Chains A and B, each alone.
Chain A
Amino acid sequence: FGAEFRRFSLERSKPGKFEEFYGLLQHVHKIPNVDVLVGYADIHGDLLPINNDDNYHKAVSTANPLLRIFIQKKEEADYSAFGTDTLIKKKNVLTNVLRPDNHRKKPHIVISMPQDFRPVSSIIDVDILPETHRRVRLYKYGTEKPLGFYIRDGSSVRVTPHGLEKVPGIFISRLVPGGLAQSTGLLAVNDEVLEVNGIEVSGKSLDQVTDMMIANSRNLIITVRPANQRNNVVRNSRTSGSSGQSTDNSLLSCPPQAEPSLEPEDEDSDEDDIIIEDNGVPRHIPKAVPDAGSLESLTQIELNFESGQNGFIPSEVSLASVASGTNTETRAPDQKLLEEDGTIITL
């Protein structure tokens, strides 16, 4: 491109869709047929991508009041420029962007663009689970990466009306290095497995639980009690009333306050049976009866979580002003958004 600067305004309350915005950029810069990467500088000075409605809206909403947008040609793009602290470490982002050769000198792990990312795991239902528990969803796409964990029989101590009792339980016994389970960091050896896809495992044999997990392996949701309870999510809403409860196991004997809304989602996982007619092309088998079950709130959580995975963790660094950008009129940032979703992981 060389460098080109444009300044235009957007209506903050109605930012529209990413596609429209992308089209607008192409129009403004008169590059209708060039694939570009769009990035923006957030309040902390990080160079973050804009490639879908969500992060576009986020970008617009956090503009303060100017939104600086960086556009690069896709084929020349320097992916490593994105991420936390990028704009702070490298004082002159523009130089980086325009002359990527500068830091190609250091060997970099090439990270593909966020649109190529997919979620591999998430913590869900944080709001309805006791704080000692963690519900982890593992996404199994294709076969390239093994789920990679083992379970075993064991016993755990429970608080029951008759006092402390030792009851048999199922535990994670091993994580395969490089497997999905290990790479998420959400499961660990000796975590007790409490539920598989919403079904309690108490009273079930190791083989039964194994079969249940394998049967659900394409969309596995495991509720565990982590062996290490120090990394638990602390929720502001709870701490007021139930802090006494949250430290021990007594929650297990309490009736669950809310049923997890897992039912509809187990419908989606394996509707993709394949039919080949007359030696033709394989295609997915359609559903005969359109299912009323709509997309539930989980999708929303996942999307937000995806962002978290990609390094959108708010840091306390303030924005260093950097030149060069396409600025958009926006209002003050809505900083509560991330916390409300409750999907923050402590690493």
Chain B
Amino acid sequence: MRRFLRPGHDPARERLKRDLFQFNKTVEHGFPHQPSALGYSLSLRILAIGTRSGAVKLYGAPGVEFMGLHRENNAVVQIHFLPGQCQLVTLLDDNSLHLWSLKVRGGVSELQEDESFTLRGPPGAAPSATQITVVLPHSSRELLYLGTESGTVFAVQLPAFRTLEDRTVSADAVLQGLPEDARHRRVFEMVEALQEHPRDPNQVLIGYSRGLIVVWDLRGSCVLCHFLSNQQLENVCWQRDGRLMVSCHSDGSYCQWPVSSDARPPEPLRSCVPYGPFPCKAITKIFWLITKQGLPFTIFQGGMPRASYGDRHCISVVHNGQQTAFDFTSRVIDFTVLAEADPAAAFDDPYALVVLAEEELVVIDLKAADWPPVQPPYLASLHCSAITCSHHVSNIPLKLWERIVAAGRQQHTHFSTMEWPIDGGTSLAPAPPQRDLLLTGHEDGTVRFWDASGVCLRLLYKLSTVRVFVTDTEPSENLNAQGEDDWPPLRKVGSFDPYSDDPRLGIQKIFLCKYSGYLAVLRCPRPPQVLVLELNDEEAEHAVEQVEADLLQGQEGYRWKGHERLCARPGPVHFEPGFQPFVLVQCQPPAVVTSLALHSEWRLVAFGTSHGFGLFDHQQRRQVFVKCTLHPSDQLALEGPLSRVKSLKKSLRQSFRRIRRSRVSSRKRQPAGPPGEVPEGGARAERTGVQNMELAPVQRKIEARSAEDSFTGFVRTLYFADTYLRDSSRHCPSLWAGTNGGTVYAFALRVPPAERRMDEPVRAEQAKEIQLMHRAPVVGILVLDGHSVPLPEPLEVAHDLSKSPDMQGSHQLLVVSEEQFKVFTLPKVSAKLKLKLTALEGSRVRRVSVAHFSSCRAEDYGEHHLAVLTNLGDVQVVSLPLLKPQVRYSCIRREDVSGIASCVFTKYGQGFYLISPSEFERFSLSTKWLVEPRCLVDSAETKSHSCPHNGSGPEKVSGRARS
């Protein structure tokens, strides 16, 4: 505490800190976790997604994003935009309605909740009487019609949510309006559909679940006409001119009904079961859209043959003899069709189908002949296959960027060329000042390259590393096999793959050199493989050179009991343009890989495992050295597959086993248990045993770490530096490695000059070994130059992007362990400064990274500091070189272990972490580098020329972008 206060008394420094640091969570990238509702405004051209946790997210043109969070932690069931307004109504699963609006404040729109409302029935009424099933925002903009489970339709006035009792359409009133022969039907049951007549706002179509559909005259309060179906009703849809109505039913059929008030016993014009004749599942929603060409589009959800395809999540599109059932890999939440927004237009002319599935958003181009998907600029499914690691590279040179984009473009040929159709609002955010890449490694062995420069996280390129290896499954083949069945005409769409969890393929570490285009990838856990790839604009066919690195070299008596290794494919392999592997290093024993470093200037790659580390010269394709870091007594590390990164399935299974085992053992242990709670007797003992297990207080053992602890050999961090390792007169390349046991190894390297690089071997010699007495895992190593500035990245100086480091003054070594920050002098290692984090705060360092913080006032002023994430989820800035804590913000919940584990920092004080398997939260510690949505949505500017009416003056536009 005192340490935090001590530096705080310098007012100038305090002022400077305010100019340098500030904490914001700016934007969420990716696909919302557990979406539960979809809404779309044809006039605003904005999409809304509600989630089970009560969030509402709005998306328009790329960069236009809003997010709102209900105070209640309830699932959003429905979202409806009010016609022609910047307002929307959400229905939660607690039966409450919420009115949100986009209001302009300070030149940007903000989303804010205005009002909330829960429908109350008459006293004594059953709760189902007011349980809302359907919401219809009336085109008058003032009324909301609410269909309920009881069959009553309530009218509510907006924006105050005042119930208009005289406008209530009760089931009884409808029954009175029906002719005798229709009245024999039993209770109406719940309202399934409410649709306003497309031409006459005074007519509303009410569909009841038992199959009765009526057209209700709002002014005259009478039934204009009715339709009787003998199947349970699921949904209805008006034809645009109001002369036809289409209903869909639970038996997988849909019917077309002519609408005219005089046709007395209306019969369906046509009724069909699209995937009959065998029993089918319900068609839950249908769109009937007419086109200028005359032939309508029928788009419906479900209706698949129950027995053979009942488990599919399909949406079928039928048009002009062409029929496709789009088959989604996850449940379809809802869908909508983008069509002509002007209600006065004669035709719908649909142009895109928007489907919200549980794990992704898919947009289908309906204009193109074969209905290809459109590549979304946002809402990317980050979790197509589970993310196993991530790596951020700031400020990518244009050249490399273009090459990656070009390589990616060739992978995206199956996408439609259509412009992104959801383009409401205007993004006011300045163009991103630099190009940033976020690389994610996945469980299926792919590395995805994301454009992380701006608000929209967009997939640029996908690298698959599977091809190099012989695996059991050839994933592409089964997919094609399914497509061959001609009926139903299924077509797989979307990128989410629920079946990709081969842990042998998971990527553990990624390192990309932005100047040379070298990429190193570590795959885990069996066996650890280092793959070095190079960007190639042409496709190529070549063999991948394989080298084996035995980290137990010279160690006697170790017997590996872990997994067998995965074999690489022999012979030349064909590679697409993009990153192509040329060297593969397989580490022995096949345990866990833990760290990776690449130096593109020296053409060296270093890798660390649970057993040691090695250095590989990828120019000469030769191993330089290996070093075993195991403690002689560390038997545990040798015996098992030490997969620290387990698949979820595996860890679940293990935790269940553990519970079972602990139940058994606690039962056994009973007699020896602590006095006072020793029960006697069999069955009782058993029950108490379980209870004790649950009630026993959590205990923590206090014990000093010893050198003999297991896993001390884990190499946690690797670092290349050109510094004074041996003496203060000559600097040389060096490799630094830090282990779990608090040991730092330093190797002096001799890299031959460029002209003799191929002829002479790279030499390495151990120069130093530092043992931190507190023995905490070393998580970061850094060398500061004579001006106490971190050494630049390799090739950074060569590309004129950094000042060359100061080689005059004395260098300093910073070692960050989980518990302490320590600065040592170089070349003679003596302790200079330290900051004890754990001893003072009880938190441990999880991530540490150097970041450059620019001042928001002075244009060219900036400082290098350490951005630190602790195991408590706090983000701190620790100053360099004096190691003074500067600021601290709580960022991630401490219980959110996966969020903390997934955090990456950028070079300019921003960061990302996973808030769900599919979403990255972006945060910023910098006052200068903020990437957040700033956008404007204005209802006046929209293309809606709708209803001429309304006297409420200029639209209110409002909102508060929530944090």
Contacts and interface: CB of A to CB of B under 8 A. Distances in A.
For A201, A206, A214, A278, the residue with the greatest tally of chain B CB atoms inside 10 Å of its CB is A214
A152 B699 contact: yes
Contacts of B842: 201, 204-205, 207-212
A289 B832 contact: yes
Given A153-B697, A287-B831, A215 B839 contact: yes
Nearest to B745: A276
Interface string A106-142: 0000000000000000000000000000000000100
B787 interface: no
A311 interface: no
B825 interface: yes
A174 interface: yes
A152 B768 contact: no
Given A152-B698, A287-B831, A273 B704 contact: no
B824 interface: yes
B770 A285 contact: yes
B705 A275 contact: no
Interface residues of B, number: 44
Interface in A285-337: 285-289
B868 to A, nearest CB: 15
B776 interface: yes
Contacts of B697: 152-154, 173
B768 A275 contact: yes
Contacts of B768: 275-278
A218 B773 contact: yes
Nearest to B839: A215
Nearest to B872: A208
A208 B702 contact: no
A270 B829 contact: no
A213 B844 CA distance: 13
For B703, B773, B820, B844, the residue with the greatest tally of chain A CB atoms inside 10 Å of its CB is B703
A153 B767 CA distance: 47
Contacts of A270: 772-774
B271 interface: no
A279 B766 contact: yes
For B2, B697, B844, the residue with the greatest tally of chain A CB atoms inside 10 Å of its CB is B697
A288 B830 contact: yes
B74 interface: no
Contact residues of A: prevailing secondary structure: mixed
Given A211-B838, A273-B773, A287-B831, A218 B704 contact: yes
Interface stretch (A59-67, A83-91, A143-151): A143-151
B778 to A, nearest CB: 12
A205 to B, nearest CB: 8
A185 B712 CA distance: 33
A207 B840 contact: no
A272 B836 contact: no
Contacts of A212: 838-842
Interface in B685-708: 697-708
A140 B702 CA distance: 12
B769 interface: yes
Contact of B699 (A173, A209, A286): A173
Nearest to B832: A288
A274 interface: yes
A217 B705 CA distance: 8
Contacts of B707: 143
Contact of A273 (B701, B770, B838): B770
A53 interface: no
B632 to A, nearest CB: 15
A270 B839 CA distance: 12
A280 to B, nearest CB: 10
A288 B831 contact: yes
Nearest to B708: A143
B836 A276 contact: no
A199 B1 contact: yes
Contact of A140 (B704, B822, B825, B843): B704
Given A147-B704, A153-B697, A210-B702, A271 B838 contact: no
B819 interface: yes
A247 B303 CA distance: 78
B157 interface: no
Contacts of B770: 273-276, 285
Contacts of B482: none
A267 B770 CA distance: 19
Contacts of B824: 285, 288
A286 B830 contact: yes
A263 interface: yes
Contacts of A204: 842
A266 interface: yes
A278 B820 CA distance: 25
Contact of B702 (A150, A273, A274, A285): A150
B118 interface: no
A216 interface: yes
A311 B769 CA distance: 44
B839 A197 contact: yes
A256 interface: no
Contact of A282 (B704, B771, B774): B771
A149 B702 contact: yes
Nearest to B823: A288
Contacts of B767: 277-278
A173 B702 CA distance: 11
Nearest to B726: A278
A151 B700 contact: yes
Given A197-B839, A212-B839, A285-B824, A150 B701 contact: yes
B830 A151 contact: no
Contact of B839 (A266, A286, A289): A266
A143 B766 contact: no
Nearest to A197: B839
Contacts of B699: 150-152, 173-174
Interface in B813-834: 819-820, 822, 824-825, 829-832
A150 B703 CA distance: 9
A344 B697 CA distance: 35
Nearest to B776: A215
Nearest to A193: B702
Contacts of B871: 207
A143 to B, nearest CB: 4
Nearest to B815: A273
Contacts of B822: 273
22 contacts: A140-B704, A143-B704, A146-B704, A147-B702, A148-B702, A149-B702, A150-B702, A152-B697, A181-B702, A199-B840, A206-B698, A208-B841, A208-B843, A211-B843, A212-B842, A272-B773, A273-B770, A273-B771, A277-B767, A286-B830, A288-B831, A289-B832
- Interface pairs A-B: 3 shortest CB-CB: A208-B842, A217-B704, A215-B838
Interface of B: 1-2, 697-708, 766-774, 776, 819-820, 822, 824-825, 829-832, 836, 838-844, 871-872, 894
Given A150-B702, A154-B697, A273-B773, 15 more contacts: A146-B704, A147-B704, A150-B699, A153-B697, A209-B842, A211-B843, A212-B838, A212-B839, A212-B840, A214-B704, A214-B705, A270-B773, A278-B766, A288-B824, A288-B831
